[in-house]
Structure 1
Amino acid sequence: MDADQGIVIPPSEATVLSGHEREVTTCQWNPVLDLLASGSFDATARIWHMSDDSKNPNELVIRHWMDGCSEKIKSCKMSDGSMLATGSFDGYVRIWRTDGSLRYTLRQYEGPINALKWNKQGSYILSARADGAMISDVGDGYCNTFTFHTNNVLNVDWRTDNTFATCSTDGNIHVCEIERTKPIKSFRGHTDRVNAIRWDPQGHLLASCSDDKTVKLWSMKQDTCVHDIQAHSQRICTVQWSRIGPSKSNMNLILASASLDSLIGLWDVERGACISKLTKHTDGVHSVAFSPDGNYLASGGRDNYVHIWSIQSGQLIHSYKASGSISEVCWNSRGSKVAASASDGKVFVLDMRKV
């Protein structure tokens, strides 16, 4: 990497969370508490209690065992403080209390759980599966199953507490509503699998990214896409919205896209135009995440690097080299810490107040 050494975060400044024995596929901060959850191919989820100054946080291990067999964890998501949802390759969604006790085991379906998402109230958990999207009311354990896709559902996202979107390997996107048996709207335009979908913070626009190398923006007011962004030269792994523009500017809402071509695109969604392309990664970028104030972007990818970027200037301001490929990056709710999960079984936490 040709970055100025002044921006490189030394290994001594990172908190390394060791315990997982295989690739850590996902990590996520609790929206309220200073807890970090991680899930791994070693068939465990872990909840790390992160105090401000601790280099050795307390660790709660949650083991996934079914009839004597361990199950790899592909996704985990924390609600607003009381529950952790995990999805594994055995097709089960499990809901855990933060003390590690199992609250619900939601019925089995064929194939792995590809993604999970809580609604804002924490009353429903939405899961993407090989044969459709499952929605579960965790208040009473009731499960309502939707199977709008004949192909593998890869990702899901809530628009409101009653409506959500799903995407799949067939390239189609469906907007669905609780208690309805058919989609209320469908978007067709991608020519290959859709890897991620994200509603903007107000639920006006839906962003999607695909193996067809495009990012598309959709509106409930029309059937064709609002913007068709020819964004990258390889598969686009994910898209993420900034909750706001940078707090020190008058910039519009921003969308970030990350691709296996090693580039990150920042897009002005009002015009569908590129603000900047971030180019310091040397291999595919798997994950991006905006800081809560919209001022910074964290990214991680195959080159083992976690980069922190200034949105206003487009410059790389901090960089940390992990010991494995990065699968996911995420900010805590205060914007003071960035966590990253890696292929070597480690989870890394960077305290941005100290760097």
Structure 2
Amino acid sequence: MQQQTANGASEVQQNGQTDGCEGDRAQGENGVEEVTPELSVVQQEMVRLIGQHLVELGFKKSADLLMAESGCRLDHPAAARFRQCVMAGEWAKAEAALGELRTMLDDPNSLKEMRFLLLEQKYLELLEGGQAMEALTCLRSQLTPLQHNMERVHQLSSLMFMSNPEELRSAARWSGMGKESRKDLMDRLQHFLPPSIMLPPHRLETLILQAVEHQRTQCAYHNTCSDSQVGENTDLCNTEEDSKVLGSGGSLLLDHSCPRQAFPCTTVQVLSDHCDEVWIARFSPDGNKLATGSKDSTVVIWDVDPETLTVTRRFTLDGHSYGVVYLAWSPDTSKLIVCLQEEAAELVVWDTERGEQICKVSNSPDDSLTCAAWHKDSRKFVCGGMRGQFYQCDLEGHILDSWEGVRVQCLAIQSDGRTVLASDTHHRIRGYHFEDVQDHNIIQEDHSIMSFTLDATGQYALLNVASQGVHLWDLRTRSLVRKFRGLTQGHYAIHSCFGGHNQDFIASGSEDNKVYIWHHKRELPVATLTGHTGIVNCVTWNPQYPAMVASVSDDGTVRIWGPAPEYRGAKTANPTTTNSTPPTANGRECEGGSSHGSFLSNGAAV
């Protein structure tokens, strides 16, 4: 009697010879006896994986030939019969074949779930086929007696009253009777079967995807961009399926490796529109605008060109009484909070589409409002400062709530929409709930937290800590994940950021006039950018165009960083500069600054 090995191959034939890749002899075309090589367990599994992939691609004859020549079997015979019955919609035979597989299941309890899935498909196909009485019998006599997933049974019973197939498919969240839905069913059923009996669906593709992903995580410069940002290199991906596996370019025939030139290490543009030190910069959430704030009391709003990775001045927000130390875009990109130096007693909210002031917040001449953060609805925000003011406000400048005695260094709002995070003078970040007046400690550092920011998920916080550098914290576990090395951080307020594809990178300015970029899993920088001649106060990464970074410095300039010209959507070497003068919000020109940027082909990047 034949006995199956774990890999699905026949171990002993009736004549006593082995059949599972054990070096069988075969007659060649020229009459010479050929010996099938004996395969190891790993080799047999590889043959099965290749065979499965050939079948999934539609090359069943090639798969059959491979199995015959290797002496292996793709699936256990009982599993093969089960698959055949399911795909043919022969539900009674499928249940019988499932009974044969009972003793081979790792978890006997999964048998009921598998039977339920079979009967669910049978019931839905009967309904769509107009066989209401047969469907009712299946529901009452087969599905309900299982006493399994009764919530779903009740949902299925309500489908009896559906008037047409489209309504039925929509309500059942089902693709309809046919090959596709049965294939989906088979994929779900395969998860309950041991891989020695039936391979998990798409196993070879899964392994390749895991290998590619592992190589990506090991790549220091992997920063997947849109087609417009990688230009001609997108020719390497010719199909949607290839793109899912490889991203924007690449090949399975080579190990994954992104060129450094495709990473934003090159100066694309140098902007000198501000008249003094530039302290803060922020890209808008939609990535189409950049705001920069300066000691000269102005904020410049720039329009982003995603093709060339350059910006052009839209207008200047003027009329502030002191230098601009902080900027906060509303989630809908239509508004911008401008926070001023500690000596100012107000902050200003601007309409960034029209360049008009929306409101001011000023409760007392003794106030200091040096930081702010928006709620998700873009209609409320929180603000605070080092003199103990901590307010929640609306767009009319009204203070809705206040929290007394908190000296706030920096603010953010967590993804839950209600927890306000504030760093204070006690080297900590605490969570505050204005609605129920509760607060709790989240992070405790040993030195002053000069600034912090959250990633898009709200799980991680990036802190610039005085004399320590940049620290990454997990807010859920309240644990320090990593300390990034290389930069010079004293007691200046330097603002770092998350950025790149999937926010895999960290970028920060430094007191040594450089920009440092790290992969979030590495302590040492993957890139150090030079070109500024003063302290780099802030770095901001475009959230929509991951090949675009901006930095601002005490040298009075804004630098735009991007890939080398050949990796951008358009060539930017030696462009023509214009002498047009963009308007300011109140008609005033900034003295001593150019009204256009200097475009560089290679910059001073290291």
TM-score > 0.5 by shorter chain? yes
Partner of 1:340: 551
Identical positions, percent: 20
- As a proportion of its length, which structure holds more strand? 1
2:284 corresponds, among 13, 23, 30, to 30
In 2, the alpha carbon distance for the partners of 1:19 and 1:324 equals: 16
Distance 1:291 1:208 in 2: 15
Alpha-carbon distance change, 145 to 317 in structure 1, aligned in 2, over 3 angstroms = same
TM-score, with structure 1 as normaliser: 0.70
- Aligned partners of 2:471 and 2:480 also within 8 Å: no
Change (3 A) 1:192 1:296: closer
In structure 2, the CA distance between the partners of 1:123 and 1:19, relative to structure 1 (3 Å rule), is same
Aligned 1:194-205 pairs, distance under 5 A = 194-197=449-452, 202-203=457-458
Match of 2:485 in 1: 278
Cross-structure match for 1:88: 340
What is the deviation of 1:169? 1.5
Following superposition of structure 1 onto structure 2, how do residues 1-355 of structure 1 map, counting pairs within 5 Å? 13-51=267-305, 52-53=307-308, 57-65=312-320, 70-79=321-330, 80-89=332-341, 90-98=344-352, 99-109=354-364, 110-129=366-385, 130-138=387-395, 140-149=396-405, 152-159=407-414, 160-171=416-427, 173-180=429-436, 182-186=437-441, 193-197=448-452, 202-203=457-458, 211=466, 234-236=467-469, 239=471, 272=480, 274=482, 277-279=484-486, 281=487, 286-292=494-500, 293-311=502-520, 314=524, 316-317=526-527, 319-334=529-544, 335-352=546-563, 353-354=567-568
Shift of the 75–305 alpha-carbon distance from structure 1 to 2, 3 Å rule, reads same
Structure 1 residues 11 and 38: alpha-carbon distance in aligned structure 2, compared to 1, 3 A threshold: same
CA separation of 1:158 and 1:13: change in aligned 2, threshold 3 A: closer
**Compared CA separation, residues 199 and 324, structure 1 to 2 (3 A):** closer
Q: For the Cα contact (< 8 Å) 1:174–1:183, is it kept in 2? A: no
Q: Is the 8 A contact 1:240 1:288 kept in 2?
A: no
Structure 1 pair 310–164 and aligned structure 2 pair: CA distance change class (3 A): closer
Residues 45-95 of structure 1: per-residue CA shift (max 9 Å, x gap): 110112132756133111124xxxx32111111122210110113121211
> Do the aligned partners of residues 310 and 201 (structure 1) sit closer, same or farther apart at CA in structure 2, a change above 3 Å counting?
closer
Task: Specify which structure has the bigger relative contact order, considering alpha-carbon pairs within 8 angstroms and separated by 6 or more residues.
Answer: 1
Greater share of helix residues, 1 or 2?
Answer: 2
The residue type paired with residue 271 of structure 2 is L
Question: Do 2:510 and 2:516's aligned partners in 1 also have CA atoms closer than 8 Å?
Answer: no
CA, structure 1 residues 158+47, in 2 after alignment: closer, same or farther (shift >3 Å)?
A: same
The answer to whether the 8 Å contact 2:293/2:324 transfers is: yes
Q: What is the letter of the counterpart of residue 334 of structure 2?
A: S
SS at match of 1:302: coil
Q: Deviations over 1:219-257 (max 9, x none)?
A: xxxxxxxxxxxxxxx345x5557xxxxxxxxxxxx79xx
Runs of 5+ consecutive residues of structure 1 not aligned to the other structure = 1-5, 212-233, 242-253, 256-268
Change (3 A) 1:17 1:173: same
Backbone CA RMSD of aligned residues? 3.6
State the distance in 2 between where 1:324 and 1:210 align: 20
Equivalent pairs counted in the alignment come to: 294
CA shift for structure 1 position 175? 2.2
Say if 2:513 and 2:535, in contact at 8 Å, map to a contact too.
Answer: yes
Tell me which amino acid in the other structure corresponds to 1:161. Answer: G
Distance across 2 between alignment mates of 1:330 and 1:56: 14
Q: CA deviation at 1:163?
A: 2.1
